[in-house]
Amino acid sequence: MGDRAGTAVETAVIAEDLTVREKIALLVGADFWSTSGVTREGVEIVEPLQLADGPHGVRKQPTEGDHLGIGNAIPATCFPPAVTLGSTWDRGMARRVGAALGAEAAARDVDVLLGPGVNIKRSPLGGRNFEYFSEDPVLAGDLAAEVIAGIQEQGVAASLKHFAVNNQETDRMRISADVDERALREVYLEAFRRAIEGGRPWTVMSSYNKVNGEFVAESRALLTDVLRGEWGFDGAVVSDWGGVSDRTASLKAGLDLQMPGPAIAGREDLERALESGEIDELDLDASVRRILALTERTRRSDVATVPDDDAHHRLARDAAERGMVLLRNDPVDDGPVLPLDPSATGVLIVGELARSPRLQGSGSSQVVPTRRESPLDELRARFDEEVAFEPGYSLEDHDDALADAACAAATRATTVVLFLGLPENAESEGYDRPHLDLPAAQVELAQRLLANHSRVVIVLQNGAPVVLSSWADTAPAIVEMWLAGQAGGSAITRVLTGDANPSGRLAETIPLRLEDTSAFATFPGEAGHVRHGEGVFVGYRHHDLIDGPVGFPFGHGLSYTAFEYGNVAVRDAGEKFRVTATITNTGDRFGAEVVQLYVGVPDGDVRRAPRELKAFARVELDSGESANVEFALERRDFAYWDVRGGKWKVDGGRVSVWLGSSSRDLRSHTVLDVEPDVDTAALDQWASLSEALRHPVVGPRLRDGVSTGAYFPMSEDLERMAGDMPLRLIADFEGMLFDRAQLAGLLDRQA
């Protein structure tokens, strides 16, 4: 875009200096990818902003491109999508990828990069899950914060999306996500809060959907009260493309920029509202100031640094390596199948996806890569001897001849590396997956090879979990490659041969069956509504609550080395608890462990998940090396959202803290005594007996009245039986405990 600082009039011009027409122009897009600037007498007073898709690569459309630019974008590095980056559990890697995205955006004169996406993977069927990090808000929010910071270090605005509760593609432009307030706060908003407070994005994109019957783009509660009032967001809210149905209502709610342009109806809507008095010029000014601040924040030098495509390709490879998850590596004969020896003979590669890999998902995030690698080419280049190949299946149709040829070739092989995965049209923006199955031809091929060969390595290419239960138990080695971006070929080669030690961890549970998932009964909804009936029990929270079997648990991932946890200690540091441990690499090669800290709070007023992720750290160690890790737990980490009080609340008690390598591989356990919050909120006559007994003022009065005989005696059985009864109803039971006059005395002067 050139040097904004060199325009004839400073772009820091305050909103009051603009005409009403100029103000309105700034609040609606000019065309599909640009905002409207302000020009007076041929001089640009405010330059327009250029926006582009970019969760995992800059997708900038040339002037002559197609409408969406999906098939005709300027080439850019295709980094691994969020599904893979999330599996790195690596804050530093997320920051580096963000910085590279920002640098490539700046070099292409892009001011706002539309990403990262931080929505929760409520169901593994979500068609856009490859664009999101995790089923857990701590992991998703913390990694997104690093991507945001990296992008914005380059003078490019990140656009955190899609705010909020955008967890499916079915009916996405009008569906109402009906979710209770506790789940909304603890799960769906928490990822955004952590990303906003940690990364300070300059823009947030509102989602298409409704939340509890109200379009997010028109929700003042979400866009102003929570986003700005509670979390301190000081940037601009941008609509999703076509995500505004009422421009006046969205302006009043806090949405600043409607995209795309020319948005003639949106301009006219604001003009009419201004004339009728529904809004006034001050309403425009608030949003205009935020757009001007965004323009100021994205000022850059007129000499843009040309990104190093080779360096970014290597970075894409490193990110892909760290995101690949070794799911299984069982012994066969004299040891595990992996890593493969590059000097070995008789290696057979099977699977069309080895020759024609999927780099990314489909839809608006689709990047035109600067280069492409295939696993087949990279494996052949790495091995000393010739590596045979059989496609095994077609990505278009069922071909038994291909499977027969692969099985025949396998009889002559010492090791078979079988690439399986989902076809391109299985995962895309715009629609959800109907099932979790791999294509039938691939499953049949896997079963045939596994039945007749002892050394089979399965490599999976997919943007979301697939069901493995029909054959995974007989596969000695499984690597979840995910969608690995443009350098996935060399990345998977390095992982398979041991040049890189696998260190990815699952950011989402791999279920045994779709029916086992928490949203099975309600996803994707009906009649314009999707009920989040599982509440806070999303993903591993649900599986661990019911203690049900899973394919592979949240956080799982193996290594070619081993790690030991020792010297675990917890100390009370006043406002925080400090948890420390020593991690030792007890194996014979360099590797990385992801230490995961889970907290389990006993059920109090609400039901809690058995454990929830609250912190994590990636530790890289040479053979025999040790390192100390330290985590800080704040009171917020023990809290839940109290719907009645409208705030975070700690019930206290004996809280469990685990360190482990997954939600089910827990290496240490410690118990903390956490003081409860003192709830001084006044009770009324409709409070329950249990609530009254816990109240710091009413509780002692009530027990004192019982002990002195002023009230009817209260046995343990009566307290249990009547605990949920409102005080008013107890008073109306003659001789039960107290009468109305005594109740009035109980409730008097609580403050």
289 shares its domain with 406: no
Query: Would you place residue 604 in the very low, low, confident or very high pLDDT band (cuts 50, 70, 90)?
Result: confident
- Are both 448 and 397 inside the same structural domain? yes
- Count of CB atoms within 10 A of residue 693's CB? 15
Among 696, 694, 699, 686, CA closest to 725: 686
β-pairing verdict for 214-215 and 210-211: antiparallel
Cα separation, 44 vs 62, in Å, equals 23
pLDDT at position 5 is 40
* Residue 217 reports pLDDT greater than 90: yes
306 found inside a domain: no
| 204 and 111 both lie in a single domain | yes
What are the counts of helices (DSSP H) followed by strands (DSSP E) for the chain? 22, 28
- 700 and 661 within one domain: no
Q: Which of 510, 429, 403 is nearest to 466 (CA)?
A: 510
Question: Across residues 571-593, what is the average pLDDT?
Answer: 95
Q: Does residue 310 lie in a domain region?
A: no
- Strand arrangement, sheet containing 203-206: 51-53, 112-114, 157-163, 203-206, 236-239
Statement to judge: residues 199 and 325 lie in one domain: no
Q: In whole angstroms, give the CA distance from residue 114 to residue 635.
A: 34
Q: What is the mean pLDDT of residues 541-564?
A: 97
Is 737:711 a contact under the CB 8 Å cutoff? yes
Give me the percent of the chain exceeding a pLDDT of 70.
96
pLDDT tens-place string over residues 431-461? 999 999 999 999 999 999 999 999 999 999 9
Shared-domain flag, residues 8 and 144? yes
| Structure tokens, 562 | 């081993």
Average pLDDT (652-667) is 96
Are the beta carbons of 325 and 110 closer than 8 angstroms?
no
pLDDT digits (tens, 9 = 90+) for 72-117: 789 999 999 999 999 999 999 999 999 999 999 999 999 999 999 9
Backbone angles phi, psi at 326, to 5 degrees: -80, 105
In a domain, 731, yes or no: yes
CATH number of the domain at 584, please. 2.60.40.10
Residue 336, pLDDT above cutoff 80: yes
Task: Catalogue the long-range contacts made by 88-91 (C-beta closer than 8 Å, 24 or more residues apart).
Answer: 88/143, 88/319, 88/322, 88/323, 88/503, 88/504, 88/618, 89/139, 89/143, 89/504, 89/505, 89/507, 89/594, 89/616, 89/618, 90/143, 90/322, 90/618, 91/142, 91/143, 91/146, 91/618
Report the alpha-carbon distance of residue 590 to residue 586 in Å, rounded: 10
What string of DSSP letters covers 635-704? Answer: GGGG-EEETTTTEEE---EEEEEEEESSSS-EEEEEEEEEPPP---PPP-TTSBHHHHHHSTTHHHHHHH
- Confidence band of 3 (pLDDT split at 50, 70, 90): very low
Are 135 and 269 in the same domain?
yes
Asked whether residue 304 carries a pLDDT value surpassing 90, the answer given is no
**CATH number of the domain where residue 402 is located:** 3.40.50.1700
Whether 285 maps to a domain, the answer reads: yes
pLDDT for res 299: 87
Q: Please check the confidence at residue 290 and state whether its pLDDT lies above 90.
A: yes
In a domain, residue 327? The reply is yes
Q: Order of strands across the sheet with 388-390? A: 325-329, 477-480, 456-461, 415-421, 347-350, 388-390
Instruction: For residues 663 and 697, state if they share a domain.
Output: no
Looking at residue 1, its pLDDT comes to 38
| Alpha carbon of residue 503 to chain centroid | 19
- What are residue 14's phi and psi, to 5 degrees? -80, 155
Tokens of 53: 């898709």
- Supply the pLDDT for residue 528: 96
Q: Which domain holds residue 718?
A: 689-747
For residues 9-31, give the mean pLDDT: 81
CB 225 within 8 A of CB 193: no
477-480 vs 325-329, strand pairing mode: antiparallel
Q: What's CA 664's distance to the chain center, in Å?
A: 21
Q: Is residue 684 part of a domain?
A: no
CB 469 within 8 A of CB 355: no
- Cα distances from 699 to residues 441, 464, 685, 734, 746, in angstroms, run 67, 51, 14, 21, 9
Contacts of 382 (CB under 8 A, 6+ apart): 342, 493, 497, 499
pLDDT digits (tens, 9 = 90+) for 92-103: 999 999 999 999
Asked if residue 4 has pLDDT above 50, the reply is no
Catalytic residue among 111, 136, 142, 240: 240
Distance separating alpha carbons of residues 215 and 163, to the nearest angstrom = 11
Does 543 have pLDDT greater than 80? yes
240 included as an active-site residue: yes
Name which residue leads in pLDDT, 122 or 9: 122
The Cα–Cα gap between 202 and 222 comes to 17
If you write DSSP's letter for every residue of 352-384 in order, what string do you get? HHHHS---S-BSTT---BS----HHHHHHHHSS
Q: How far is CA 395 from CA 350, 392, 408, 490, in A?
A: 13, 10, 20, 22
Q: What pLDDT is attached to residue 68?
A: 55
Q: How far is CA 470 from the centre of its chain?
A: 29
Query: Is pLDDT at 368 greater than 80 in this prediction?
Result: yes
Residue 599 inside a domain? The answer is: yes
pLDDT band at 306 (very low <50, low <70, confident <90, very high): confident
Q: Is residue 128 part of a domain?
A: yes
pLDDT of 303 strictly over 90: no
Residue 483 has pLDDT above 90, yes or no: yes
- Assess whether 248 and 340 both reside in one domain: no
Question: Does 515 lie in the same domain as 386?
Answer: yes
Measure the CA dihedral 436/440/444/446, to 10°: -50
Q: Check pLDDT > 80 for residue 751.
A: no
Outline where DSSP puts E strands in 351-503: 388-390, 415-421, 456-461, 477-480
Q: How many Å apart are CA 527 and CA 176, to the nearest integer?
A: 9
Q: How many domains does the chain have?
A: 4
Residue 166 in this model has a pLDDT that exceeds 70? yes
User: What are the tokens at 178?
Assistant: 């009906």
Q: Domain check: are 641 and 704 in the same one? A: no
Q: Which of 297, 332, 358 is the last residue of a domain?
A: 297
Which of the four pLDDT bands, split at 50, 70 and 90, describes residue 11? Answer: very low
CATH number for the domain harbouring residue 138: 3.20.20.300
Q: What is the pLDDT of residue 696?
A: 87
As a whole number of angstroms, the distance between CA 239 and CA 68 comes to 16
**What residues have CB less than 8 Å from 264, skipping those under 6 apart?**
none
pLDDT for position 472: 84
What region, left, alpha or beta, does residue 392 occupy, with left being phi > 0 and alpha being psi -120 to 50 degrees?
left
The encoded tokens of residue 560 equal: 């070619």
Query: Which pLDDT band holds residue 397 (cuts at 50, 70, 90)?
Result: confident
**Which of 479, 509, 525 is the endpoint of a domain?**
525
Selection from 176, 172, 149, 171 nearest residue 162 by Cα? 172
Which one is predicted more confidently, 25 or 742? 25
DSSP sequence for 497-512: HTSS------SS-B-S
Q: In the structure encoding, which two tokens stand for residue 69, read together?
A: 């630019």
Same domain, 702 and 670: no
Across the chain, mean pLDDT equals: 93
β-pair type (576-585, 626-634): antiparallel
